[in-house]
Structure 1
C-alpha cells in the first residue's frame, strides 16, 4: 500500500490555481532567476512541471521552442506564455512582468552606484574582476549551446558561417540570423534529415496529472479578429512612446535614439540574450559611442549577478547613454529615464509576440518547417556567441585594439604590448574553475570580484 499510494497521488491532477494564487509562485521563480536563460528555464521547469505540475513536459517544450524562435529573452517569454496558457492575458502580464521586476530594480540601483562610485578603488576593482568571470561564462555558453545544437556537419557549418560572417566580414547580425532561419525553414520543409528536431520527446507519463496536459487547450482561442485587436493594442503600448519622443524631441535626441535603437533590437535579436548582446555591444560601442567596450562587460557582470533576464543589461546601456547626454535634466534623472525607456521598448514587444502568436502556435506542434528554422537559428547562434566571446576577450585582455580592413575583411586586432597580465590571470583562473572544476556561476563571479577588489586595494591594477 505504501508503494502504490504515492503513485496514485502523482497521477491525480493538482487543484485549480487562481490568478491570485499563482502570484507567490511567479514571484518565487522571479527571485530565483539567476544564471542566464539556461538556469532560468531550469528553474521554471522544476517548479512548473515537476513541483506544481501546472503544465506537462511536452507542453513546456512546445512553448520553449516557440519562445526560442522569437526575438528577445526566451526565458521571460516562456514565463509569459505559461502565464497566458493558464490565466489568459492577465496571467501572461503577471508572470512576464514579475519575471522582469527584480532585475529592473537591481540594475537601476547598480547603475547609480556605477556612475557615482565606479572610479573608486573597491568598485573599480569589483568590475575588473567581474569582466574576467563574464568571459569564462560566455565561453561556457558557447560550449553548452554548441553541444545541444551542433548535431552534424550541416549545423556545424551554419555556426562556422555565422561566426565568419560576423567576425571577418562585418555582416549585420540580423542578416545572419534571418538567413539561417530561411535555410532551416526550407530544409525542414523539404524533409532534409539535418534539419529535423534532435530526437523526439515521448508523451509525458501521467498526462492527466497536470493542469495543462498534452490535450488541454488554452483559455484563449485563436481567431483573426482577436489577433488583430491584440496586435493593435500592444503595438500602441510599445510604439506610442517612441512616436511621441520622435515628434517632441526629434530623431537626434538621445532618448529618441534609445527608443528607436532598442525597438529595432527587439525585432531582430533572435537566439537569446548572448546573441542580442553581440548586436547591442557592436552598436552601443562602435556606432553610437554610448559606452566603452569594458563598460559593456561591466553591465553584463551586473546582469549575471542579479535575478532576471540577462538582456536587462540593455537598461544599463540606456542609462549610460542618457546620463552622458542629459540635456536639460540632471544626469541621474536622465540616466534613470533612459534606463526605464530602454526596458519598456525591450520588453513590451515580448508581450506582443506571445499574446499575438501563442494562440496560433498552439495549433502548430510538430511543424517540420518551424522545427527546421529553430534548429538552424540555434546553430547560427553558436557562431554569434563565439563572436561575442572573441570580442569580449580582445577588449578584456588587451588595453588597445585596432581595426584592420583588407578587401572585404574587417576585424579587430589586439596590440600585443597592451596585454593586461592581471586580466589574463583572472580570466584563465575563471576558465579553469568553470571548465575543469565545474564551479557554479555565482561562486566564480564572487571569487573574481573579490580578487579584483583585492588587486585594486593592493595597487596592482
Structure 2
C-alpha cells in the first residue's frame, strides 16, 4: 500500500472518529455534520452525490448515518476505506457505551450527564438547520420536486407513515410525474424498479421471520451464538430510524427471551439517547448486561455487520441508476423526500427540546442556544465540534447556577 492510500485511510479514521465522539442528536445531526465535513470543507463529494447517497441509504435497512459514513469511506479509499470509516464512526459510541455498561453493572446506576445534554440538544438543532439549508437548495431543483417534498411531509406528519415507505412512495410517484411523458422503458430500468420492490418485500418477510423465530425460544440463559443471531437479524431488517430498535428489544429480549427486565431495557434506551454516535450502540450495553464483554462484542458485531454488507452491494449501483433518465428521476424524488424527512425529524426534535409542559411553554435558554448555533453555523460556518462543546459548557454552567429546565 502506497503512502497516498495510507494517508487517505488516516484522514478517514481521524474524521470519523471525531464525528463519532461529537455525534449527538441522532442520524439527522450526524448526516448534517458529515455533509459539513466531506462536502463543504474537504470537498470529497459533490453535494449532488452526497444527496444521492442519502436517498439510497434511506431505502435500505440499517442505521442511516453509519451507512453514510461507510459510503463516504468506500468512495474516498475503496474497500479499506469502507471498513475504516464505518468502524471509526461506530467505535467511540461502542467504547463509551461499554464503559457505561460496566459502571451500571458494578454500581447499579448511571452517571449524571443531563446538564451537558441540556446544552447540546438545542445546538444540534442549529447544526441540522445548517445542513437542511444547503441540502434543500440543491435537492429542490424544480417546483415539482418542492410539491413532492411537501407531499412526503404530509405523509409523515398526518398519516404517520413509516419513513422508508414514505420515501419509496415519494420516489415512485415523483418518477412517474417527472418522466411520465417518456415511453422508453428498457428492461434494465424495469429491473431496477423490480429490485426495489423485491427488496422491500424481502424486508417485510424478514421482519415477520424475526418475530416468529423468537416466539419459539425461551429460557433465561443467553448462548453467545443466539445473542449474536438475534442482533444480526435485527440489523438486517431495521428500516428507518434507529429508535425503532426499541420495539424489537421489547418484544424479543424482554417478553420472549426474558433476558432483560423492563427496567434494564429502559436504562439501555436512556444510554443510547445520551451517548454520541449511532443509537444502535444500545446493543453494546445490552450485550454486556446479558453476557459480559463477549456478549457486548457479539451484539455489536451482529447489529452493525449488515450495514457494511448492504453499502458494499449498493454503492456501485448508485452512479448507474443516476445514468438512466427514469431512475435518475426516481433518485431526485427520493433525495427531496429525504430532505423532507429531515425537516420532519427536525420539527419533532425542536418540539421535544425547546418546549416545556408549563407556562410559558418555551425554554428560552434552549431557544437562544438553538438560534445562536444556527447563525454561527450558517452565517459564520462554525465547526460543529465547537458548537457541541460550547453548548455543553453552557448547559453545565446553567445547571451550576440553578437554572431549572
Asked if 1:352 corresponds to 2:309, the answer is no
Residue 283 of structure 2 corresponds to which residue in structure 1?
318
Q: Which protein shows a greater Rg?
A: 1
The answer for unaligned runs of 5 or more in structure 2 is 20-31, 183-205, 220-225, 251-264
The match for 1:95 is 81
Alignment correspondent of 1:124: 114
Cα deviation code 1:396-443 (max 9, x no counterpart)? 23466xxxxxxxxxxxxxx76765454344334323433454433122
The Cα shift of 1:321 comes to: 4.9
When normalised by structure 2's length, the TM-score is 0.67
CA drift of 1:97 comes to 0.4
**Once the 2 structures are TM-superposed, how far is the Cα of residue 316 of structure 1 from its aligned partner?**
2.4
For the residues of structure 1 that align with 2:318 and 2:340, how far apart are their CA atoms? Answer: 28
1:67, CA displacement in angstroms? 7.4
Q: Deviations over 1:262-306 (max 9, x none)?
A: 3123xx5xxxxxxx5xx223x24577565699766534xx23xxx
Give the direction of change, closer, same or farther, for the CA distance of 1:322–1:134 in structure 2 (3 Å limit).
farther
1:167: which partner in 2? 157
User: Are positions 1:79 and 2:73 aligned together?
Assistant: yes
Q: Please, which runs of 5 or more residues in structure 1 have no aligned partner?
A: 1-17, 50-56, 84-90, 193-238, 269-275, 304-312, 401-414
Which of 385, 388, 393 is 1:442 aligned to? 385
Question: What is the correspondence of 1:144-163 to structure 2 with a 5 Å cutoff?
Answer: 144-163=134-153
Pick the structure with more helix per residue. Answer: 2
**Partner residue, 1:298:** 274
C-alpha RMSD over aligned residues: 4.1
Per-residue CA deviation, residues 368-422 of structure 1 (Å, 9 max, x unaligned), is: 112111110111112101111111112223466xxxxxxxxxxxxxx76765454
Query: Which of 141, 148, 152 is the equivalent residue of 2:131?
Result: 141
Aligned residues: 332
Residue 29 of structure 1 is matched in structure 2 by: 12
SS of residue matched to 2:351: helix
Cα distance change, pair 81–127 in 1 and its aligned pair in 2 (3 A): same
After superposition, the C-alpha distances for 1:151-192 in whole angstroms (9 at most, x for unaligned) are: 222111111111121122111112111112212333454357
- Matched residue SS, 2:323: coil
Q: Is the 8 A contact 2:373 2:387 kept in 1?
A: yes
Question: In the TM superposition, what are the counterparts of 1:266-277 in structure 2 within 5 Å?
Answer: 268=239, 276=240
8 Å CA contact retained: 1:133, 1:444 = yes
Of 388, 392, 403, the match for 2:349: 392
| Aligned equivalent of 1:69 | 56
Are 1:318 and 1:335, in contact at CA under 8 Å, matched by a contact in 2?
Answer: yes
* 1:259 match: 232
Which residue, 86, 91, 94 being the options, matches 1:105?
91
| Structure 2 match to 1:228 | none
